[in-house]
Amino acid sequence: MDLRITKRFGCNRIRFRLKRLKEISLSTKTIYKVLKRHGLNILKCKIRNRKYKRFAMEKPNQMVQMDILGPFYLQNCAQKNYFISCEDDCSRKTSSEWSERKRSVDVLDVLEDYIVENGKPHKVMHDNGKQFTSKIFKGFLKKNKIKDKPIPKFYPQLQGKIEAYNKIVKNEFLAIENIPNVNDGKKMYSMFVKAYNEDREHGGINGYTPSEMFLMKGTRLNNSSSNNTVKQIKESVTHVGK
C-alpha cells in the first residue's frame, strides 16, 4: 500500500518491486484487486491500444532520443525552468539536466554528458525545435559523425520513449517533491535521475533498471576511443555560444 500511496506506483511497478526485493510473485490482476479493495485503484491497469507500431533498438547507442520539457515554474517565482534529456532508445538509460535556458549549447551539454558516461550514439532522434535544427547542433553531429534523425512534424509518437520519461518526471518528481529553490532543485533532480537509471524498475524493459539493461545489451566504448570522443566534444562545444 505504501508504494501506491507515497510513490504512486502502478500495478506493474508494484509487481516488479515485490519480485525484485521481496521475491514475491503476484499478477497485476491480483494487485489491482487488492488496490480496489482499499479504494486505491485510481489508475487503470489496462494498457491502452496503440494506433502505431512500437519499435526499439536492439543494442545501446544505436539511437538516442532528445527532448526538452518545460517551461515549469517554482512557487512564487516567475523564472522559467526546463529539463533537457537524452535517452538511449534500447535501455532507456538517460542523461538529463535542469536548465534555466534551452539553447543549442544547453542541449549539447546534455548530449556531451551522455557520451562521456555511455559512449557515442550512432544517431540522435529529436523534434524540429530550433535548438535541434541550428547550425551549432547540426555541426556538432557532423563533426562527431553522429547521424541526425529529426522526426516528421505532427508525429510525436516516434519519440514515445522520451515522452514517457517526461511523464515520469512530471508524476514522480515535480508532482511529489517540495522544491524550495533552483539550486536545491537541481541537486534533487540529479538524485532523481540517478535513481531512475539505477533503482527504478522500468515497465518497458521487463522490470529491469535502465542501467541493468544497458549493461545486459551492450558494452561501453573502450577507453581510448571514449577519450578521443570526449576531446572532440570539448573542442567543438565548450565555447560555442557562451
Closest CA to 167 of 8, 1, 49: 8
**Predicted structure pTM score:** 0.74
Tens-binned pLDDT, residue by residue, of the chain (242 aa):
555 545 556 667 677 776 766 677 778 778 777 777 766 655 444 444 445 556 778 999 999 999 999 999 998 899 999 999 999 999 999 999 999 999 999 999 999 999 999 999 999 999 999 999 999 999 999 999 999 999 987 666 778 899 999 999 999 999 999 999 999 999 999 999 999 999 998 888 988 999 999 999 875 444 445 445 545 555 554 434 44
Domains of the chain: 2-37 (no CATH), 64-237 (3.30.420.10)
Q: What is the pLDDT of residue 221?
A: 44
* Whether 66 contacts 124, CB under 8 Å: yes
Q: Which amino acid is at 119?
A: G
* Cα–Cα distance for residue pair 242/239, rounded to 1 Å: 6
